A and B are shown apart, each in its own frame.
Chain A
Amino acid sequence: MSDMRQLYQEVILDHNRKPRNFGSILGANRHADGHNPLCGDHIKLSMNVQGDKIEAIAFEGEGCAICKASASMMTGAVKGKSVQDAEIMVEEFRGMATGTLDTDKASNHLGKLKIFAGVKDLPSRVKCAILPWHTLHAALHSDNSVSTEGEADPVPGTAIGGQ
């Protein structure tokens, strides 16, 4: 990807500047922390799940534009959805970002989130886009802390370590 405007579209830059659902939910009954230890991205997610429905969701944290916009748009996309539908979106988003799901061909529920499809050409940035979704998955399972490393690594071997 040589034209950065394909990835850094106005929508992403706007969500980065003014993230939606930024903050925390008072009295939330689901929480999770997501870390990308290699780049310092950090997402704190809080949710209120009533019955099967995500009633409220908010995030806070530090991250790059891709990570923040992904988190911001994710919260908008899953608010009001059922837990099952949110889980399907987690899988679809993960597939799109890692290149296993072609969103132009296979049917999916990603809608506006397809704007992140470009990260599949930037292996070192895939984790930035996926981190909020990993964190959502963890929160839904009340597995309180996730990382994009180890078994959860969406793209093993693309670590940003070293000098």
Chain B
Amino acid sequence: MKIETMAVKEVSGDRINIDQIRADFPILGLRVSGKPLVYLDNAASSQMPQAVIDRIVRYQTQEHANIHRAVHYLSELATREFEAARIKVQHFLNAKESREIIFTRGTTEAINLVMHGYGRAFIGKGDEIILSGLEHHANIVPWQMLAQEKGAVLRVIPMNDAGELLIAEFEALFNERTKFLALSHVSNALGTINPVKQMVAYAHKHGVPVLLDGAQAAPHQALDMQDLDCDFYAFSGHKMCGPTGIGVLYGKAHLLEKMQPFMGGGDMILSVTFEKTTYNVIPSKFEAGTPPIMAAIALGTAIDYLNGIGLAKIEMYEQELLDYATGRVSAMPGVRIIGTARNKAAVLSFEIKGVHPHDVGTILNADGIAIRTGHHCAQPVMQRFHVPATARASFAFYNTKQEIDKLVDGIRKVQEMFS
């Protein structure tokens, strides 16, 4: 007992203060079905700390006007705060320049922007686009649409039974027709963290640009665009303690500059006549219309909040939660964990023998436990593992081991009911 206490104290400087963090999230005090909420659906959307909520209220009560337009006080203030948020994102990603940061509605729009702006201009008939078998539908369907339009071909990187991509097979897919690689950084369905730095470097050896879908990576680990060297990186605000309706596309400036606009409208132009429109410079070229100003500013505050805790600490704590959950759930008879990659984010997909995931989800919900059930918008992953759907618990830095214990108790209850 004594030794254990000492060990905890030794590392306490590197650890997050979980009680303090939980107090930052008002929603975690909620009761659902009469029970304290156990929110384990963070891969779908994370919760928002009071600091971000306060920032939204301050913006809407003291700062709101349209940006990049009028000369009045509020417009200038809103513009300044919006652009300050862009610089926060730049630093969060360690991007070279702030003009490489484009605000979108989310990851999906960011990927579609690249498909339209880059894909339609530079990918043609017979060209090949490489995707992985782990992708979310958002990183499959746009490329399929492009392939259909252009007569291009999709090639898929296979994975092993643990849910890890097969690197030799990946490398063997490259040939002179390969024009693009679209790859998830972290799998939303299985939690696999792909060796993206190595894969980007390999693609670049063949002159192939790379888009990384970072929706599941952004809130859980420190990101460095210059180190990763990917050409595009997409993620969403609402999975990292920010609001919905805001996402980011990072793109290397020289690529963004040669791309076509995605949408036409105000803000993305320099001059318009009925004969000809001259497009604005990046990033404005890709931000037609009034952007989600409040959401972008709130995302900036979410980044401040995450930085305040420290991404390294968050990553370490979430790994601890994952190890604990994996240990407890894998020890349960009749439960199979799907996705057992060596390098894994805090996502636990599982199935209970003889029980459909939706029944699992409904029964856990009656105990206040929120998990995701279904195909997780990754049907090819489900097909690969021969399951129609899985139950998925996904953890954030505000979750606790006690909550994982409740999940385990809930799984046991499901098994008893269906026995």
Contact = CB atoms under 8 A, between A and B. Distances in A.
Interface string A95-137: 0000000000000000000000000001011001000000000
B280 interface: no
Given A13-B418, A163-B43, A4 B215 contact: no
B388 A62 contact: yes
Contacts of B382: 40
Prevailing SS type, chain B contact patch: loop
Interface stretch (A63-71, A85-93, A146-154): A63-71
Interface string B358-371: 11001100100000
A40 B355 contact: no
Contact of A163 (B136, B358, B359, B363): B136
A8 interface: yes
Nearest to A8: B417
A42 B387 CA distance: 13
Interface residues of B, number: 29
B215 A163 contact: yes
B374 A3 contact: no
Contacts of B388: 39-42, 62
Interface bin, chain A: 20 to 34
A26 interface: no
Nearest to A2: B33
B373 A163 contact: no
A3 B377 CA distance: 30
A163 B44 contact: yes
A13 B418 CA distance: 7
Interface in B165-196: 188
A4 B417 contact: yes
B417 A162 contact: no
Interface in A33-83: 38-42, 62-67
Contact of A8 (B33, B359, B373): B359
B15 interface: no
B203 interface: no
A40 B356 CA distance: 10
B376 A39 contact: no
Contact of B374 (A8, A17, A38): A38
A27 interface: no
A39 B188 contact: no
In the complex, the 6 A-B pairs of residues with the closest C-beta atoms, listed nearest first: A40-B388, A64-B356, A2-B33, A64-B358, A163-B44, A4-B366
6 contacts: A1-B366, A8-B363, A64-B356, A64-B358, A65-B359, A66-B358
